[in-house]
Structure 1
Amino acid sequence: MAIRMAVIGAGRIGQIHAANAARNPAVALAGIADALPEPAEKLAGALGARVVTVEEIFADPSVDAVLIGSSTDTHADLIQRTARAGKHIFCEKPVDLDLARARECEQAVKASGKACLIGFQRRFDPTFSALKARLDQGEIGALEALSVISRDPGAPPVDYLRRSGGIFKDMLIHDFDIFRWILGEEAETVYATASALTDPAIASEANDADTTAVTLRTVGGKLAQIHTSRRAAYGYDQRFEVLGSKGMLQAGNHRPTEVVASGPDVVSVDKPEHFFLQRYEKAYRIELDHFVAVLGGREKLRVSIEDGVKALELADAATTSWRENRIVRLR
Structure 2
Amino acid sequence: MTKIKIGIIGVGRIGKLHAGHIARHPQAELHIVSDVMISDSLKEWAAELGIPHVSADYRDVLQDPEVQAVYICSSTHTHVPLIEEAAKAGKHIFCEKPISMDYLQTQQALETVKEYGVLLQTGFNRRFDHNFKRVRDCVLEGKIGDPHLIKITSRDPAPPPAEYIKVSGGLFMDMAIHDFDMARFVANSEVVEVYAQGAVLVDPVIGELGDIDTAITTLKFANGALGVIDNSRQAVYGYDQRVEVFGSKGCIQIANDHPNTAEISTKDAVYRDNPKYFFLERYEQAYAEETLAFLHAIVNGTKVPVDGNDAFQAERIAAAAKRSLLEGRPVKLEEI
**8 Å CA contact retained: 2:9, 2:61:** no
Q: Which amino acid aligns with 1:12?
A: R
Q: How many angstroms does 1:322 deviate by?
A: 0.3
Q: Distance in 2 between matches of 1:231 and 1:282?
A: 24
SS in 1 for 2:196: strand
Hey, what's the Cα distance between the residues in 1 that align with 2:213 and 2:82? 30
- Letter in structure 2 aligned against 1:264: K
- Are residue 48 (structure 1) and residue 67 (structure 2) matched? no
Match for residue 314 of structure 1 among 312, 317, 322: 317
1:298 to partner: Cα distance: 7.2
Corresponding position of 1:31: 32
Shift, 1:40, TM fit: 4.0
CA shift at 1:299, angstroms?
5.5
Q: Number of paired residues?
A: 330
Runs of 5+ unmatched residues, structure 1: none
1:115-154 matches, cutoff 5 A: 115-154=119-158
2:69 corresponds to 1:65 = yes
The separation in 1 between residues aligned to 2:314 and 2:301, in whole angstroms, is 27
Paired residues for 1:1-331 under 5 Å: 1-38=2-39, 40-49=42-51, 50-52=53-55, 53-204=57-208, 206-297=209-300, 300-331=303-334
Letter in 2 for 1:74: T
Deviations 1:77-119 (A, max 9, x none): 1111111101100010000011111111111111121111000
Matches of 1:307 and 1:46, distance apart in 2: 35
Identity across matched positions, percent: 41
| CA shift in 2, pair 1:190/1:113, >3 Å | same
How far did residue 300 of structure 1 move? 3.8
**Which letter maps to 2:24?**
R
Q: Alpha carbons of 1:273 and 1:117: their partners in 2 closer, same or farther (altered >3 Å)?
A: same
CA distance in 2, matches of 1:7, 1:135: 35
Secondary structure of the corresponding residue to residue 223 of structure 2: coil
Cα distance, 1:220 vs. partner? 2.6
Displaced runs of 4+ in structure 1, greater than 6 A?
A: none
* Further displaced range: 107-116 or 278-287: 107-116
TM-score if structure 1 supplies the norm length? 0.97
Q: Is the 8 A contact 2:136 2:187 kept in 1?
A: no
Q: 2 CA distance for matches of 1:130 and 1:330?
A: 28
Aligned-partner Cα distance in 1 for 2:169–2:178: 14
Deviations, residues 237-281 of structure 1 (Å, cap 9, x unaligned): 001100010110011100011111111111111100001010000
